[in-house]
Amino acid sequence: MASVAYSIFILSLFVFTIVNLHPVSSEFDEYFFIFGDGLYDSGNTEYIIPDEYLPVYHSPYGNTYFKHGTGRYSDGRLIPDFIAHKVGFPDFIPPALNTSANFTYGANFASEGASVFDIQQNNSLNFRNQVRHFIELIKEWRADLQNITEVNRRLKKAVLLINIGTPDILNANITSNTTDAQLETITTEVIGNISDKIKVLYDLGARKFVFQTPPPLGFLPYVKQTRNDSIISVKLNIVALLVVDELYAALMEIKQLNPAFNFTIFGDFFPIFWRVLLPPLFGFNESRVACCGNGTVRGQGCGVLGYEYCVCGNKTEYLFFDGTHYSEAANKQLVELMWDKKSGYIVPYDLKDFFEISNSTSLKSAT
Ligand SMILES: *[C@@H]1O[C@H](CO)[C@@H](O)[C@H](O)[C@H]1NC(C)=O
Ligand SMILES: *[C@@H]1O[C@H](CO)[C@@H](O)[C@H](O)[C@H]1NC(C)=O
Ligand SMILES: *[C@@H]1O[C@H](CO)[C@@H](O)[C@H](O)[C@H]1NC(C)=O
Ligand SMILES: *[C@@H]1O[C@H](CO)[C@@H](O)[C@H](O)[C@H]1NC(C)=O
Ligand SMILES: *[C@@H]1O[C@H](CO)[C@@H](O)[C@H](O)[C@H]1NC(C)=O
Ligand SMILES: *[C@@H]1O[C@H](CO)[C@@H](O)[C@H](O)[C@H]1NC(C)=O
Ligand SMILES: *[C@@H]1O[C@H](CO)[C@@H](O)[C@H](O)[C@H]1NC(C)=O
Ligand SMILES: *[C@@H]1O[C@H](CO)[C@@H](O)[C@H](O)[C@H]1NC(C)=O
Ligand SMILES: *[C@@H]1O[C@H](CO)[C@@H](O)[C@H](O)[C@H]1NC(C)=O
Ligand SMILES: *[C@@H]1O[C@H](CO)[C@@H](O)[C@H](O)[C@H]1NC(C)=O
Ligand SMILES: *[C@@H]1O[C@H](CO)[C@@H](O)[C@H](O)[C@H]1NC(C)=O
Ligand SMILES: *[C@@H]1O[C@H](CO)[C@@H](O)[C@H](O)[C@H]1NC(C)=O
């Protein structure tokens, strides 16, 4: 009996130690995971292709805010950075592939060019691989916290921000001859592959999903420069709109089977549509030409070795920083629209609902 009592004593010491090492109710109690492509990538690409020269680690990328390249595809902060700041996270959410980072509050799995399809990508993490890294991270949470209830509580509270599918639509070889039925097929395949992975994330315990849907892709300087065909632009814009409808239907289907599933959709189409058409209304001087790149609309080549490219003077005047990514000034505006559903662009909930931030608590406003 004595030895059993002794074992219990030792065990209780052990439990006590674990509880002390990992307090289950740390002061800050918000969790944030990010999935997507270059719009959200905060440095993962560096770890995927460490031997390649990456323009995003060099000027002019990052110059506006960080004063140096950080792996972000913009002149400064990205959408997840502004969100982290508004919610009050102690720091930006780190790229998941930086194994020396601290993932207590979440991780960013996004990677430039990420495909929604299960294709092999040597330069990027496709969506399935992003989900795979998420599964690994949750295993680490379980090992660290030694408390499944607590891990599940955090997962339930966590907000998952997802923007995926744009590279696939741009790579789908849409021509002026592509039929409406083919556009539908592309959309259905993209949404089917998103839906698949959302179910996996839900089964792991995640509950709050925020989706950002594509902008009018035909308006991207990169598309204007490399395709230069107004019919192709219109077709790309149609796909961007089809994605919203189909995504909503697919998510409603998941919700019908799983009432605890919670989602909201930020439609990026109209915010960008209006900023491209009427830039001065939103404080921009230039919305058709990117800040950095080559060619007439600077649609490509920003920072690429061996090519000449231009860089604008005042980056806050530009909607696009390079041919496919927004300027920091634009990212900041988009987060304001996602933060409060009164903007009309995020339905049915907004970020402050999902992070459960009451409007009485004083928020640090992103500057
Ligand atoms: C990775 O994370 C560590 C710890 O936060 C940080 O010191 C380091 O700069 C990061 N590495 C890169 C390449 O960003
Ligand atoms: C990670 O961050 C959390 C919250 O700030 C802190 O409690 C913990 O000690 C950090 N972990 C490591 C290994 O630094
Ligand atoms: C990716 O890497 C694999 C293995 O190294 C190689 O066989 C394949 O051709 C590469 N694919 C591309 C698109 O570069
Ligand atoms: C595990 O976490 C739950 C809440 O998340 C808490 O109520 C419980 O006390 C924790 N258990 C231990 C052994 O720390
Ligand atoms: C697009 O065209 C390229 C070159 O013809 C081809 O390699 C690629 O597989 C095509 N992509 C799709 C999605 O059909
Ligand atoms: C579109 O179809 C027309 C007529 O069939 C053909 O001449 C043309 O080459 C096609 N264009 C493309 C981009 O496939
Ligand atoms: C995923 O995309 C592929 C095309 O790459 C398609 O064949 C497949 O049906 C899609 N999966 C789902 C579940 O829609
Ligand atoms: C598109 O093509 C026209 C005619 O060749 C050319 O004048 C124009 O500069 C091109 N636009 C872009 C963005 O490359
Ligand atoms: C712009 O740079 C890209 C490399 O990113 C290159 O392929 C393209 O030919 C360049 N275009 C011009 C007009 O210089
Ligand atoms: C840059 O442009 C913004 C917006 O037009 C303007 O408010 C700001 O004063 C400009 N900054 C400089 C240094 O010219
Ligand atoms: C979804 O989230 C909203 C906002 O946080 C909340 O009011 C609602 O009860 C949630 N619905 C479910 C089914 O959890
Ligand atoms: C806070 O929210 C309540 C209820 O939604 C609303 O009545 C009130 O006006 C809000 N206060 C502020 C300062 O926005």
Handedness of CA 68, 70, 76, 81 (dihedral sign): negative
Residue 332 to residue 69: CA distance in whole angstroms: 18
Q: Are strands 208-213 and 262-267 parallel, antiparallel or unpaired?
A: parallel
Ligand 7 centroid to 189 CA: how many Å?
A: 5
Would you say the CB of residue 91 lies under 6 angstroms from ligand 2?
Answer: no
Cβ–ligand 6 contact at 175 (below 6 Å)? yes
What pTM, to 2 d.p., does this model score? 0.90
293: left (phi over 0), alpha (psi -120 to 50) or beta: left
* pLDDT value at residue 14: 45
pLDDT of residue 27: 81
Q: Which of 206, 211, 187, 198 is nearest to 253 (CA)?
A: 198
CA–centroid distance, 121 to ligand 3, in Å, is 8
| Cα distance between residue 217 and residue 235, in whole Å | 9
**Which atom from ligand 6 is nearest to the alpha carbon of 177?**
1
Here the tokens at position 231 are: 């019919």
Q: Which atom of ligand 2 is nearest to the CA of 26?
A: 7
Tell me the CA–centroid distance for residue 335 and ligand 12, in Å.
20
- The confidence score (pLDDT) of residue 11 equals 46
| pLDDT score recorded for residue 6 | 52
The contacts of residue 184 (CB under 8 Å, 6+ apart) are 242
What are 132-140's contacts with CB under 8 Å, separation 24+?
133/96, 133/97, 133/107, 133/109, 134/33, 134/35, 134/96, 134/107, 134/109, 134/201, 134/204, 135/200, 135/204, 137/96, 137/103, 137/107, 138/204, 138/205, 140/103
Residues paired with 213 in a beta bridge: 267
- Taking only the tens of pLDDT, the chain with its 367 residues reads 445 555 544 444 444 444 334 444 458 999 999 999 999 999 999 999 999 999 999 999 999 999 999 999 999 999 999 999 999 999 999 999 999 999 999 999 999 999 999 999 999 999 999 999 999 999 999 999 999 999 999 999 999 999 999 999 999 999 999 999 999 999 999 999 999 999 999 999 999 999 999 999 999 999 999 999 999 999 999 999 999 999 999 999 999 999 999 999 999 999 999 999 999 999 999 999 999 999 999 999 999 999 999 999 999 999 999 999 999 999 999 999 999 999 999 999 999 999 998 654 444 444 4
Among protein residues, the one with the nearest Cα to ligand 5's atom 3 is: 173
